[in-house]
Amino acid sequence: MKKYDVVTTISYPKKGAQGKTGNWRVFRPVLDKSKCVKCLQCWMFCPEATIIRNKDDTISIDYEYCKGCGICANVCKVKAITMEREAEKK
Amino acid sequence: MAVKDLPMEECILAGSAACPGCPATLGLRMVLKALGKNTIMVVPACCTAVIESLYPNTSFDIPVMNIAFEAAAAGASGVEAALRMQDKGDTTVVAWAGDGGTYDIGIQALSGALERETNFIYICYNNQIYSNTGIQRSGATPYAAWTTTTVGGKREFRKEMGDIIRAHHIPYAAQACVSYPEDLYNKVKKAKGIKGPKYIEILAPCPPGWRFGMDRTIEMGTLAIETGAWALYECENDVMTFNGKSKLILDKKIERKPVEEWIKHQGRFRHLFKPERDGKKIKAIEDYTDKVWERYRKCNP
Amino acid sequence: MTVIINTGNYIAAKAAVMAKPDVVAAYPITPQTTIVEGIANYVDTGEFKGEYICVESEHSAMSACIGASAAGSRTFTATSSHGLLLMHEMLHWAALARLPVIMCNVNRVVGPGWNIWADQNDSISQRDTGWIQFYCSSNQEIFDTVIQSFKLGEHKKVLLPVMINYDAFILSHTSMPANVPDQKDIDGYLQKYKPGWKLDVDNPITFGNIIGPEHYEKVRKAMQDAQENAKVLIPEIANDWKKKFGTYHGDLIEKYKCDNADYILLAMGAFGAESKVAIDELQKNGMKIGLARVRTFRPFPKEEMLKLGKQADLIVIDRNISIGSEGALFNEMKAALYGKSDAKAYGFIAGLGGKDVTYKDIEKMCKKVVSGKAKDFEWYGLEG
C-alpha cells in the first residue's frame, strides 16, 4: 500500500475502519453446526461479510465485527442459527 | 449462478459504519463480487459515503472517489475518459448512488452521462428515501409513505425512473433487489461485459427508513417482488425481459400478492392500518401497482 | 516559433491543446464559447488527441475534470460568469482535493439582467475557493499564462487548480498577435503530469470520505502552504519562460514606469493594459505616476504591495465590487499595507457591467487623486 504525501482527504483500507463493531450487538447469532446444511444463504446475505465461509462450505462467525442484525438467522432455511442475547457484562 | 459459485473475495472489509442489516452494504458487497478488484467507484453524498467510515481509514478495498451529491455521473464520465486515455479502458468505472443522487439532485448529470454514452455502470441503490440525512422523502418514495418531510404520508406517487432511463435507449438497463443476489450478480456481470452506458437499480429495503426489524431486510425485498411493488427486469437494446417471479406476474402465470402484504410490515405505512385501516389509500396503491404492470405488459409489443 | 493573430479565446484554445491535456470537459457560455469551439475544431483536425467531453452543465464540467484529474490525467476547461458560479461548489472541491485542473475564465458580468460584457465579479467572488488566480491583459499573456499554469498547478509543491482570467470581448474576442512556440518546445517545457495522488486499482484508496474536526484544518493549512510555494514559483516560472521563449508579463505584478513615482496605480486585466496608455500620457504632462498591474490575485502578492506602499501613494481601480464593502483589490491591498506603511490609498470602482473605461477615464481618476479632490473610495462616474 503506497501512502501519498499530499495532505488531503485520502483514506486507506482497514478492517474495522469504524472500530470493533461487534460491540454494537444486543443479540448474537449462534450456530448449531449439527443443523447446518451448508446452503451458504447466511454467507451470501450477511451485509458485513462477518459470516466466514470455510473451505468445506461450513461457516464461522466473526464476532469481532458482527453487528448482530439477525439476517443470517432470518434467512437460514433450517433454523441452524438462532439469535441469543449478548451475555450481560459484569 | 449458484451461491457456491459466488467469488470468495470481499472488497468491503468488516467493521464499516453501516447500520446493522443495511441493504446498501449487502448490495455493494454483491456488486463488487461480480466486478472484482479492477474497478473504480464514484460515490456521491449518500449512505455509502458514510459507510466508508472515517478518515484516515476506509472500509472499501477498491479505489473510491467521493464527489458532491449531484455529480456522480459527471465525475464518472471524467474518470472513464481519463482511464481510456491512459490505456486502462478495461477498468470498470461504477457510479454508485442512492435514489436521492439519482432520481432528484443527480438526474441531470445521469441523463447527460447516458446521452454521452459514457462507458460505465451506473448503479442506484434505492431505499426510497434520502436515508443519509435521516429519512426525508425523495422522488423515489412511494405514495402514502411516512418520511420526516411527509409526516402524514407522501401525497404523490413515485417517479418511474426505469421509464426515464429506458428513454435514453442505452444498451442495458435493469432492476434488481438485494433479496435476489444471484440475479443481481448476473445482471452486474452482464453489464460489465457490455460497452456503453449501463444502469442497474437495486431495491434496498432500509430498516430504520422503512421502520422494520433489522433482521427482516431480505424479507422486505422478497415481498416487494411478490406483491409487484418492485419488478425484476432487464432491458437490452430496448427489449424488455422480466426475471423470476416478476416474469410470472407479468405473464399472469401467478397473481401478484396484494401490496398490502408488503406495506403492513413497515412502520412507514403504519398510519394506513392504525388506528384504522385506510381502505381508500390502500386501494390507490393497489390501483397504481396494477397500472404499472399494465404498462410493463405493453412493452415489447 | 510562429506568430498567430487571433482572438484571446482562440489563442487560449491553442495553448490548452498544446499543453496536451488528456481530458477536456466544457460547456459553452458567452463569451467563452469560442474557446470550446476552438478546441472542437482541433478535435476535428486531429491536433487535439485527448478526450473532449461535451458535458450538460458547468457543474458537470468541473465534476468531470475532477474525476479525470483524480484518475491521473491532465485536465482543462473554460467558462465565464454564470458558468463559473454554477461550478462554485466544485471549485472548492477541486482545490481541497489538490487536483491541478487548469481553467480559463472569461470575466463577464453576473446577472440578472443578462449582460455579456466585461466585469470581474465572477472570478473575484471565487477568491476564497483556493484556486490560484491570474489576470491577463494581452493575448500573448493568455497563451503564456495558460501553459505556465499547467507547470505551476502540477508542481509537486503546489498541486492546486489554476484560473486564468481575462476580460470579456476586450480580450476574448479581440485579435492580437501572439508568438507561439513549437509543439516540441512546449512538450519539453511541460513534461508528463505526475499526480500527487490518484485512483489506482493497484493501490486502492478512498478519496473524500468523512474527515473529523481534528484532521480537516491540516488540509486547509496544506493548501495555504501550497499557495505560499506558488508565490515563490510564479516569478521563477515567469523568468524561465522569458529566457526560453522571450516573452514576459511580470510575475506576481508587472511594474510599468514606476521609477521615482509618487503615485502608483494598481489595476487588473484589461484595465492594466489601458492604464499603460494613461501612464504614458500622465507622465508626458509631468505627473510622477507609475503602474503596478496585478497579474496574480491568488496568492495575493502581499510582499509586493508592501514594497509599492513604501515607495508611493496607491490608487486602485477595481472592475468588481463586494457589495457592502469595497473593491476586492483595494480591500486586500490595504490589508497588506496595514500597520506597515504610511501610503495613502484611493480606490475607484469603474467599468462594472462592461462599461467602457478608456485611458482618458483612467487619467481623470489619477488627476483627481493628485489634485486632492478624490475621496478615499468612490464609484467613478457615479459620484463626485
| pLDDT tens-place string over residues C235-285 | 999 999 999 999 999 999 999 999 999 999 999 999 999 999 999 999 999
- Residue-averaged pLDDT of chain C: 97
Residues in chain C within 8 Å Cβ distance of A9: 96-97, 207-209, 211, 219
Burial of B138 (C-beta count, 10 Å sphere; 0-12/13-18/19+): buried
Out of B66, B73, B85, the one facing C51 most closely (by C-beta) is: B85
**Closest approach of C64 to chain B, Cα-based (Å):** 4
Partner-chain residue, chosen from B12, B26, B52, that has the shortest CB–CB distance to A45: B26
What's the confidence (pLDDT) of residue C383? 74
Closest residue of A to C221, CA-based?
A7
Closest residue in A to C206 (Cα–Cα): A11
Using an 8 Å CB-CB cutoff, list chain C residues near B68.
Answer: 63, 89-90, 93
Interchain contact, C23 vs B116, CB within 8 Å: no
pLDDT on residue A89: 55
pLDDT tens readout for residues B253-289: 999 999 999 999 999 999 999 999 999 999 999 999 9
Task: Give the integer Cα–Cα distance in Å for B232 and B178.
Answer: 11
Cα separation, A45 vs A24, whole angstroms: 19
State whether B15 and A20 contact (CB < 8 Å): yes
Instruction: Answer yes or no: do B112 and C60 touch at CB < 8 A.
Output: yes
Burial annotation B262-272 (CB, 10 A radius, 16+ → b, else e)? bbebbebbebb
Which chain B residues have a beta carbon less than 8 Å from that of A21? 14-16
Helices C88-96 and C213-245: crossing angle in degrees, nearest 10, is 90
List the 43-82 stretch of A: residues with Cβ below 8 A of B: 43-50, 53, 57, 62, 64-65, 67-71, 73-75
Q: Please report the number of interchain residue pairs, chain A to chain B, with beta-carbon separation below 8 angstroms.
A: 122
Residues belonging to chain B with any Cβ–Cβ distance to chain C shorter than 8 Å: 37-40, 42, 49-50, 52-56, 58, 60-68, 70-71, 73-86, 91, 108-109, 111-112, 115-116
Q: Which residue is associated with the grid cell 475557493?
A: C129
> Model confidence over C153-175: pLDDT tens digits?
999 999 999 999 999 999 999 99
CB of C72 less than 8 A from some CB of A: no
Of C159, C206, C221, the CB nearest to A6: C159
Chain A residues in contact with B15 by the CB 8 A cut-off are 15-21, 48, 64-65
B52 vs A contacts (CB less than 8 Å) = 11, 17
Shortest CA gap A9–chain C (Å): 5
> CB B215 to CB A83 under 8 A?
yes
B115-to-B108, B196, C63 alpha-carbon distances in Å: 11, 10, 17
Q: Chain A contacts of C204, Cβ < 8 Å?
A: 13
ω into residue B208 within 30 of 0, thus cis? no
For residue B301, is pLDDT > 90?
Answer: no
Residue of B nearest to C57 (CA): B109
Q: Which residue, C39, C225, C138, A40, is CA-closest to B4?
A: A40
- Cβ of A10 within 8 Å of Cβ of C197? The answer is yes
Burial class, B3, CB count within 10 angstroms (exposed 0-12 / middle 13-18 / buried 19+): middle
Contacts of C203 in chain B (CB under 8 A): 63
**C222–A contact, CB cutoff 8 A:** yes
Below-50 pLDDT ranges, chain A: 90
Residues of C in contact with B65 (CB under 8 A): 67, 70, 199, 207-208
Can you tell me the mean pLDDT for B187-206?
98
| Best residue in C96, C98, C194 for a mutation probing chain A (most A CBs within 10 Å) | C98
| pLDDT for res C339 | 95
Contacting residues for C236 by C-beta, under 8 A, at least 6 apart: none
Cβ A62–B13 below 8 Å, yes or no?
no
User: Is 70 exceeded by the pLDDT of residue C89?
Assistant: yes
Look at residue B1 in the predicted model and tell me its pLDDT.
77
pLDDT tens digits for range C109-140: 999 999 999 999 999 999 999 999 999 999 99
Contact state of C212 with B54 under an 8 Å Cβ cutoff: yes
- Cα B101 to Cα B165: distance, rounded to the nearest angstrom: 14
- Do B109 and C51 lie within an 8 Å CB cutoff? no
Q: Which of C70, C21, C93, C94 is nearest to C198 (CA)?
A: C70
Closest approach of B207 to chain C, Cα-based (Å): 23
DSSP collapsed to 3 states, chain C: CEEEEEEHHHHHHHHHHHCCCCEEEECCCCCCHHHHHHHHHHHHHCCCCCEEEECCCHHHHHHHHHHHHHCCCCEEEEEEHHHHHHCHHHHHHHHHCCCCCEEEEEEECCCCCCCCCECCHHHHCCCCCCCEEEECCCHHHHHHHHHHHHHHHCCCCCCCCEEEEEECCCCCCCEEEEEECCHHHHHHHHCCCCCCCCCCCCCCCEECCECCHHHHHHHHHHHHHHHHHHHHHHHHHHHHHHHHHCCCCCCCEEEECCCCCCEEEEECCHHHHHHHHHHHHHHHCCCCEEEEEECEEECCCHHHHHHHHHHCEEEEEECCCCCCCCCHHHHHHHHHHCCCCCCCEEEEECCHHHCCCCHHHHHHHHHHHHCCCCCCEEECCCCC
Q: Would you state the pLDDT for residue B2?
A: 87
Task: For residue range B24-43, list pLDDT tens digits in order.
Answer: 999 999 999 999 999 999 99
pLDDT in tens, C301-342: 999 999 999 999 999 999 999 999 999 999 999 999 999 999
Judged by CB atoms closer than 8 Å, whether chains meet at A7 and C218 is answered as yes
Whether residue C370 has pLDDT greater than 80: yes
C-alpha cell at C128: 476564497
CA distance C335 to C329: 10
Beta-carbon separation of A6 and C196 below 8 A: yes
Confidence of residue C23 (pLDDT cuts 50, 70, 90): very high
What pLDDT, on the 0 to 100 scale, is given for residue A90? Answer: 45
Q: Give A85's strand partners.
A: A27
Test B66 with C205 for CB contact under 8 angstroms.
no
Nearest chain C residue to B48, by CA: C209
Instruction: Indicate the burial class of B256 (C-beta count within 10 angstroms; 0-12, 13-18, 19 or more).
Output: buried
CA distance B199 to C255: 57
